[in-house]
C-alpha cells in the first residue's frame, strides 16, 4: 500500500491498486478501516510523475481523472514513487501493450543510474576549478546570474564520466531537477517542465537555462533545523518508508515517514501531513536493541487494540519506541536494516 494524499489538506491514506481503480482507506489505530473512504477510476486517467506543482513535495504523483478531478499522491522515496507510477500507468494502459513495454525500457534505464549518488555529482558540479562554469545569461531581456545552459550540463556530465551518452546525461539531469538539486530559470527551460514525459523535461539546448536550487543551503540555516544537529542528518539514507508509531505522551498511534541513516546511524521520523521537511523526532541507534513483538494478542507496553507486525526499539537511554509495519516482511526488512547499525 501507498500513503497518498488528497489535496488542500494532506491526509495519510492506505492505497490499494486494483485492475481498473485505486481504492483508498483511512487508518485507525494502526490498521486500515474495513471499507474504503473513496476510489479513483483509472479509465481515461492521465498521470504526471514527477509532479512539480508543490515545490517542497518532490515525491508526488498527480492523477487527473476523466471528469477532470485532480488527485495528488505523495510517496516516501523515489523508488516507491516510481514503482507506483509504473504500476498505475500499467493499469491505465492495460489495453495498450506497446506503452507498457516502453515503460519497462524506461524503468531499466533508471535502474542503471540508481547507484550514482546525486549529492556526489552536485558536489563535483560546485567545485571551483573542475565544476560547471556559471555565467550571466540574458534571456528575453532578463539577466540571470550564476546560470548554466542545458547543453553545457550535458557536456559536463559526459566529460566527467557520469554519463556515456547524451541520452543518459539528459536522464541524469532530469533526475537532478526532479530531486530539486537544480531548477529551470527563464521561459525556455521552465516551459519544458510542463511535459508529463520525464525524458522531455530537461532540455539539451544552449538556450535553456538552469541554476543550482538554493534549497539545500537555505534549509540548513533556518533556526528550527538546529534542534537536530546537522551532522545527524548528513549520513547516507539506508532505508525509508511509512510506519505507524505509538506516541510517547498520549500513546496514540500515528503514521510517520521513517528515515534510517548510516554513519552516523540515526533513525528520524517525519510527520507526512506537515509542509516543512523537518524531522519531528529521532534518535541515535548506537547501543539500541531492536526486536519483533509477538503477533498474537496485544504486547505489553502497547496501548489500544493494536496488534500484528509490531516491533520495538529500546535506546541506550532506555526510551522505548513501539512501531508497526504493514506486513511481516516489511517488519523483517526494517529490523534487518536497523540491527547492523546498533
- Mean pLDDT of the region 97-104: 52
Greatest alpha-carbon span in the chain: 70
The Cα 286–Cα 267 span in angstroms is: 10
Over residues 108-127, the pLDDT tens digits come to 444 444 445 677 788 889 88
Over residues 295-316, the pLDDT tens digits come to 877 788 888 777 788 999 999 9
The Cα 314–Cα 297 span in angstroms is: 21
- pTM (2 decimals)? 0.49
Nine-digit cell string for 256: 510517520
- Number of helices (H), then strands (E), belonging to the chain: the values are 8, 20
pLDDT of residue 221: 34
Over residues 6-53, the pLDDT tens digits come to 545 788 888 988 888 899 988 877 778 888 888 998 888 899 888 888
> pLDDT averaged over the chain?
80
pLDDT of residue 219: 36
Which domains does the chain carry? 13-107 (2.30.29.30), 118-220 (1.10.10.10), 230-339 (2.30.29.30)
Nine-digit cell string for 114: 540508481
Q: Calculate the dihedral angle through the C-alpha atoms of 7, 10, 16, 19, rounding to the nearest 10 degrees.
A: 10
Confidence tier at 233 by pLDDT (50, 70, 90): confident
Which of 167, 40, 160 minimizes the C-alpha distance to 112?
167
Please tell me which residue, 223 or 194, carries the higher pLDDT value.
194
Does position 333 have pLDDT exceeding 80, yes or no? yes
pLDDT of residue 340: 95
Does position 216 have pLDDT exceeding 60, yes or no? no
Confidence tier at 267 by pLDDT (50, 70, 90): very high
Contacts of 176 (CB under 8 A, 6+ apart): 118, 121, 122, 182
Contacts of 15 (CB under 8 A, 6+ apart): 1, 2, 3, 4, 22, 23, 24, 25, 73
Sign, Cα dihedral of 272, 173, 211, 189: negative
Amino acid at each position: 500500500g501507498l500513503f497518498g494524499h488528497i489535496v488542500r489538506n494532506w491526509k495519510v491514506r492506505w492505497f490499494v491498486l486494483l485492475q481498473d481503480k485505486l481504492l483508498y482507506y483511512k487508518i485507525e489505530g494502526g490498521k486500515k478501516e474495513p471499507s474504503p473512504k473513496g476510489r479513483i477510476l483509472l479509465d481515461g486517467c492521465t498521470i504526471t510523475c514527477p509532479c512539480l506543482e508543490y515545490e517542497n513535495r518532490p515525491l508526488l504523483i498527480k492523477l487527473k481523472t476523466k471528469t477532470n478531478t485532480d488527485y495528488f499522491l505523495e510517496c516516501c522515496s523515489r523508488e516507491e514513487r516510481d514503482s507506483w507510477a509504473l504500476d498505475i500507468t500499467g493499469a491505465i494502459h492495460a489495453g495498450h501493450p506497446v506503452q507498457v513495454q516502453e515503460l519497462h525500457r524506461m524503468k531499466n534505464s533508471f535502474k542503471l543510474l540508481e547507484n550514482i549518488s546525486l549529492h556526489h555529482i552536485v558536489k563535483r558540479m560546485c567545485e571551483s576549478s573542475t565544476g560547471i562554469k556559471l555565467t550571466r545569461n540574458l534571456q528575453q531581456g532578463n539577466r540571470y546570474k550564476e546560470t548554466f545552459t542545458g547543453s553545457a550540463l550535458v557536456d559536463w556530465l559526459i566529460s566527467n564520466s557520469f554519463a556515456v551518452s547524451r541520452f543518459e546525461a539528459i536522464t541524469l539531469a532530469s533526475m537532478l531537477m526532479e530531486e530539486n538539486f537544480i531548477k529551470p530559470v527563464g521561459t525556455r527551460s521552465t516551459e519544458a517542465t510542463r511535459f508529463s514525459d520525464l525524458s522531455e523535461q530537461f532540455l539539451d539546448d544552449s538556450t535553456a537555462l538552469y541554476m543550482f536550487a538554493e534549497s539545500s543551503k537555505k534549509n540548513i540555516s533556518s533556526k528550527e533545523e538546529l534542534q537536530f544537529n546537522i551532522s545527524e542528518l548528513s549520513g547516507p539514507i539506508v532505508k525509508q518508508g511509512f510506519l505507524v508509531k505509538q506516541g510517547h505522551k498520549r500513546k496514540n498511534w500515528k503514521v510517520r515517514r521513517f528515515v534510517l541513516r548510516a554513519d552516523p546511524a540515526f533513525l528520524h521520523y517525519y510527520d507526512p501531513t506537515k509542509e516543512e521537511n523537518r524531522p519531528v523526532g529521532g534518535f541515535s541507534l548506537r547501543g539500541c536493541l531492536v526486536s519483533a513483538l509477538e503477533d498474537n494478542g496485544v504486547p505489553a507496553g502497547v496501548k489500544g487494540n493494536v496488534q500484528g507486525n509490531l516491533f520495538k526499539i529500546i535506546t541506550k537511554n532506555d526510551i522505548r519506541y513501539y512501531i508497526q509495519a504493514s506486513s511481516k516482511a516489511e517488519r523483517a526488512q526494517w529490523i534487518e536494516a536497523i540491527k547492523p547499525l546498533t
